[in-house]
Structure 1
């Protein structure tokens, strides 16, 4: 910790965003421009950083991939359907919006919308933050961050498997399993 503080305060060009992100992320961002872009909504015209939409695309893909691999290794007896359902719950828009609130993303996001920032924008910024971490720290660091700071901290695989993501899908699966006829 002391090395990081010394490095931070001995560098006169340190960005305040790096200082604010450290307690939340647990590391000091090096390529801070990615984090500025991650928190810049498309309603803001920023010639310096641009908006976060491309980062969101990359971050969502990274989350999807890391979570899929994690589930594959952690649940070796589960079939593809169960793994897909669990992954979809973990990367759903609702879940990303919730994670954004838990990571206090609203304190960093810049919009030109006025008023309270919609949770969907915060969830999008969370995906962009994952891409910023990936581009800044590399793929293995980002993978470890997702596993340790997101999956292991915010999810219970046992509870996640029990959670019904779609009652209609659950009903159809049940009727097919029990050879019953259904009509909508």
Structure 2
């Protein structure tokens, strides 16, 4: 019923020039026009340009990013579960984490045109200010699609427009970057000392998830998760490389 109301409402609503441009961009990226433009407007609004509403709350894309992240993770998990029926949960978790990593989402977002629709304050530039801007916006866009058209349409967008065209699963499986070596090499070049500390182990029942924190000169930089300490160290090193802008 909600989808029908949104569809009917969109037929009679008049739009500004800016709104028409956003609608055209959304159609180009997703393959269809939005029924309700509002969630897409929020999805493309970074917190740096968001205006404060009541009680200081900013209507940025962060809440939609949270929602989209959950939808994306669910769809990718379901796809991998069916695609690899004889692989264990460790393999599936590792593969999913690489697909939905910030690096992967940033790259896909750039490819499909997200930089052309996201609004952010270009003057507020710090080393880590916008490092995940496009990937975060892509997740928010998924959240907007979910609110506008429901799970089935969101799933179709993720599979047809993101996962299948932009990810070679066999290549991902066979190619693993050694982020730990990359971080160590950078540290030695700049006379710094990286350390990896095991800070927690989460019992998942059938398997354990390890959490590792990487520090550079005793300063905490990033945390990583993995089904072994070695994999968690690689994940932490990958996050550190992104934060230190060693990786796009």
Q: TM-score range by the shorter chain?
A: 0.7 to 0.9
Q: Counting strand residues as a fraction of each chain, which structure ranks higher?
A: 2
Closer, same or farther: CA 158–144 of 1 in aligned 2, 3 Å: same
- Kindly indicate whether structure 1 or structure 2 has the higher relative contact order, using CA contacts under 8 Å at least 6 residues apart: 1
Shift of 1:60: 0.8
Q: Counting helix residues as a fraction of each chain, which structure ranks higher?
A: 1
8 Å CA contact retained: 1:85, 1:165: no
Select 1:93's aligned residue among 88, 102, 122: 102
Q: Deviations over 1:6-30 (max 9, x none)?
A: x9xx756133111222122110011
Closer, same or farther: CA 78–166 of 1 in aligned 2, 3 Å: farther
After TM superposition, the score normalised by the length of structure 1 is: 0.79
- Unpaired stretches in structure 2, ≥5 consecutive residues: 1-7, 181-225, 232-248
- Unpaired stretches in structure 1, ≥5 consecutive residues: 1-6, 174-184
- Pair 1:124 & 2:124 matched: no
Closer, same or farther: CA 165–88 of 1 in aligned 2, 3 Å: farther
Select 1:164's aligned residue among 156, 176, 182: 176
Q: Report the counterpart of residue 180 of structure 1 in structure 2.
A: none
Moved more, 39-48 or 72-81: 39-48
After TM superposition, the score normalised by the length of structure 2 is: 0.60
Moved more, 111-120 or 164-173: 164-173
Instruction: Measure the CA separation in 1 of the matches of 2:63 and 2:88.
Output: 32
Structure 1 stretches of 4+ moved >3 Å: 46-49, 115-119, 165-173
- Pair 1:148 & 2:153 matched: no
Q: Deviations over 1:4-63 (max 9, x none)?
A: xxx9xx756133111222122110011111000001011113368810000001111111
Q: CA RMSD in A?
A: 2.8
Instruction: Measure the CA separation in 2 of the matches of 1:135 and 1:113.
Output: 28
Q: Deviations over 1:65-122 (max 9, x none)?
A: 1100100001101111111110000000101111110121111111123288934111
Instruction: Measure the CA separation in 2 of the matches of 1:108 and 1:73.
Output: 34
Instruction: Measure the CA separation in 2 of the matches of 1:171 and 1:139.
Output: 35
Instruction: Measure the CA separation in 2 of the matches of 1:171 and 1:95.
Output: 22
Select 1:33's aligned residue among 35, 38, 63: 38
